Amino acid sequence: MGERRKTPRIRITKEVTVSPLEREVFLEVKALDLGEGGMRLLSPEEFPVGTTLFFTIEVETDDGIVDIQGEGNVIHVKPAPAGGYEIGLTFSYLPDLEREKLQELMLLQRYSAPSP
């Protein structure tokens, strides 16, 4: 199966706080990869496809530690090999300032990654 993403992803292991928009609950999950269009999460809780999640991820940029906040829609869910669920999230709302932070992170990660 070929790559379906429109934007590249970087491998990242960061804690992400998510909250379904219809519930007042916050859950700590782990980002497995991240791109300008979405991210893949490892979650102890299963979220149905179509669920909208508010997310906050803390990342390091040239300006120091910053939060990236937005909303994403769950587009796929599958059981993770080590337990929990892998969740594919496509960004549905990412303000321009948050997108700029994400783009800076992507550039920093690409240029700091060791050459193959």
Residue 73 belongs to a domain with what CATH number? Answer: 2.40.10.220
pLDDT at 7: 67
The total of structural domains in the chain comes to 1
Residue 41 lies in a domain: yes
Residue 71 lies in a domain: yes
Residue 115 lies in a domain: no
pLDDT at 93: 96
3-state SS, residue 49: coil
Q: Which residues contact 21 (CB under 8 A, 6 or more apart)?
A: 52, 53, 54, 71
pTM: 0.85
Residue 2 lies in a domain: no
Q: Burial, 77: exposed, middle or buried (Cβ in 10 Å; 0-12, 13-18, 19+)?
A: middle
* Owner of token pair 């496809």: 49
At 64-104, the pLDDT tens digits run 888 999 999 999 999 999 999 999 999 999 999 999 988 88
Q: 97 or 63: which carries more pLDDT confidence?
A: 97
pLDDT at 24: 85
pLDDT at 112: 62
Residue 54 lies in a domain: yes
Domain assignment of residue 45, given as a range = 9-110
At 31-62, the pLDDT tens digits run 999 999 999 999 999 999 999 999 999 987 77
Question: Biggest alpha carbon distance in the chain?
Answer: 44
